[in-house]
Amino acid sequence: MNANRKLWNEHHQELTRTLAIGDRDRAVELFLAQHAVVHAAEMSASQLWSFEDEILADMNVEEIRQIPAGGEHSIAWILFHLARIEDITMNLLVARTPQLFRRDGWAEPLNVSILHSANRMDDQSLHELSRTIDIHSLRH
């Protein structure tokens, strides 16, 4: 197992224990560290290894758009969906602030027409999003 993934798992276990004992400050610290290594290092403004960077390191745009045989989603769709879910959950539901996607007008640079999280998209819409989404803006 990759040492970075092993460390992530250990930190996740520590986060679970910390939440169980109610140490909010330590839990927030651990959560933010875990969050940073899930997303691109550029996004988290860190020099840390990240799952996203590792997965996308050797992929080209067409591979990111591709829905694998027998698969349901492209990596492009997964990244879009994860970003939208995080935006909706953290901003709209937790912080009770506007979604960044809507507030900052991300639909245009992403070249998407949907405003939702991409849940329950039919196959045609999912393929269209995967084919047309701006990958550079998506990574940003």
Whether the pLDDT of residue 3 is over 90: the answer is no
Residues 75 and 11 placed together within one structural domain of the fold? no
Residues 94 and 129 placed together within one structural domain of the fold? yes
Task: Look up the pTM and report it.
Answer: 0.83
Q: Structural domain tally of the chain?
A: 2
Residues 64 and 84 placed together within one structural domain of the fold? yes
Domain that holds residue 21: 1-58
Residues 51 and 67 placed together within one structural domain of the fold? no
What is the greatest pairwise CA distance in the chain? 47
Residues 99 and 37 placed together within one structural domain of the fold? no
Q: How confident is the model at residue 16 (pLDDT cuts 50, 70, 90)?
A: very high
Residues 130 and 83 placed together within one structural domain of the fold? yes
* Percentage of the chain exceeding pLDDT 70: 99
Residues 79 and 108 placed together within one structural domain of the fold? yes
Residues 69 and 137 placed together within one structural domain of the fold? yes
Query: What pLDDT, in 10s, does the model give residues 17-49?
Result: 999 999 999 999 998 888 888 888 887 777 778
Residues 54 and 3 placed together within one structural domain of the fold? yes
